[in-house]
Amino acid sequence: MTEDHLVSLGELDRFCREAFLAVGANAETADSATRAMMHGTTLGVDSHGVRLLPHYLTALEGGRLNKNPQPKKAGGFGAVEVWDADHAQGAVGTYRGMARAIELAGSFGIGAVGVRNGSHFGPAGAYAIKAARAGMIGITFCNSDSFVRLHDGAMRFHGTNPIAVAAPAPGQPWLLDMATSAIPYNRVQLYQSLGVTLPESVASDAQGIDTRDAHLADMLAPVGAEFGFKGAALAGVVEIFSAVLTGMRLSFDILPMGGPDMETPREMGSFVLAVNPDAFTPRSTFDAGMARYMNTLRNSPMREGCRVMAPGDREWLVADERRQNGVRLDPVTIAGFTDWADKLGLSLPGA
């Protein structure tokens, strides 16, 4: 396996599942973590795809992540529940939380679930889209360890604090999945691996001065460039819902994702919401409204040489191409896969 070779999605899925089980993680962890990563890789969100596998395996072996978690309901009433993820890999508690939110929304029209004692969960869109596939609007928030400066700030304050929203629509769902930083830090690491220069105004060095050198990037800028106060405020929204509301750690109190401590749980929170359109308007009215919105958006006038796309359109195109042709992995991911395959006695993913 080299960076010149294309690897099939099926083989990546197989390798990830086998690797989780080989380090002693239970079946739910292997399934949830693999599904979340494969969502990212399939849709072209490579910063939150299978490149995270070596990190998760290290955290499981180190003890940061519970190999055999027992998530359970810890509180709530009516359409609201709180779940304790028992220090599981982040996808475990968040998938559980969204499944409960969908069930609650079926009964109450809305379902809100806060998840305690989780960890890094990968692509936020993986959980929001679960609701959209069930015919509901899904929203996902999660904070993370500090890596993003405030607008005009010169210290790490918020995490990349993603927001994801998915809504059922004709064909594929409308899907927003964004960090409230200008780019996610995992993309900085990807650019380091690929030797790619960062875009303008997305990262700063240790003094808060903008840099395009991925190896010098010490903190990220909030989304919005000269209007970055908007991105910083959105990060605060995520902070309130995912950390303050669940009683979990604020971004600047969370242990760094990359270690060196891989033994202590990070005590992270997340928040998921499912909204049932049937509680607000007849389904036929909702479906017609989404169809008109999407059709008008995609057929609206465009600037010369450009193309108007709905949120998610690019990702569905990438997914179709990758299902057909496979994925080209970056050098650091290949090296990590190779090391773990040798250590665990696994066969590397093939074409």
Is residue 190's pLDDT more than 90?
no
Q: Is the dihedral of CA 87, 47, 331, 313 positive or negative?
A: positive
Element (DSSP H or E) covering residue 116: strand 110-118
Smallest CA-to-CA distance from 172 within 320, 316, 319, 323 is with: 316
Phi, psi dihedral angles at 73 (to 5 degrees): -65, 135
Stretch 248-269: mean pLDDT, rounded? Answer: 97
To which residue do tokens 């509180």 refer? 75
Altogether, the residues listed in the chain come to a count of 351
Is residue 4's pLDDT more than 90?
no
pLDDT class of 193 with cuts at 50, 70, 90: confident
Stretch 288-292: mean pLDDT, rounded? Answer: 98
Whole-angstrom Cα distance, residue 351 to residue 349?
Answer: 7
Query: How do residues 70-96 score in pLDDT, each as one tens digit?
Result: 999 999 999 999 999 999 999 999 999
Q: Is 145 in contact with 264 (CB distance < 8 Å)? A: no
pLDDT at 2: 72
For the chain, the structural domain boundaries read 1-62+322-351
* 2 contact partners, CB below 8 Å, separation of at least 6: 334
pLDDT class of 251 with cuts at 50, 70, 90: very high
Compute the mean pLDDT over every residue in the chain, rounded to the nearest whole number: 96
Characterize 290-319 residue by residue with b for buried, 16 or more Cβ atoms within 10 angstroms of its Cβ, and e for exposed. beeebeeeeeeeeeeeeeeebbbbebbebb
pLDDT at 100: 98
Fold of 1-62+322-351: Hypothetical Oxidoreductase Yiak; Chain: A, domain 1 (1.10.1530)
pLDDT at 257: 94
Write the DSSP string, 168-218. Answer: --SSSPEEEEE-SBSS-HHHHHHHHHHTPPPPTTSEE-TTS-B---TTT--
Smallest CA-to-CA distance from 46 within 193, 182, 149 is with: 193
**CA separation, residue 134 to residues 99, 165, 192, 276 (Å):** 10, 14, 38, 9
Query: Cβ atoms within 10 A of the Cβ of 187, count?
Result: 24
pLDDT at 223: 95
Phi, psi dihedral angles at 227 (to 5 degrees): -110, 35
Stretch 10-36: mean pLDDT, rounded? Answer: 98
Stretch 184-206: mean pLDDT, rounded? Answer: 89
Is residue 184's pLDDT more than 90?
no
Smallest CA-to-CA distance from 161 within 80, 222, 211, 246 is with: 222
* 325 contact partners, CB below 8 Å, separation of at least 6: 6
Smallest CA-to-CA distance from 210 within 224, 196, 220 is with: 220
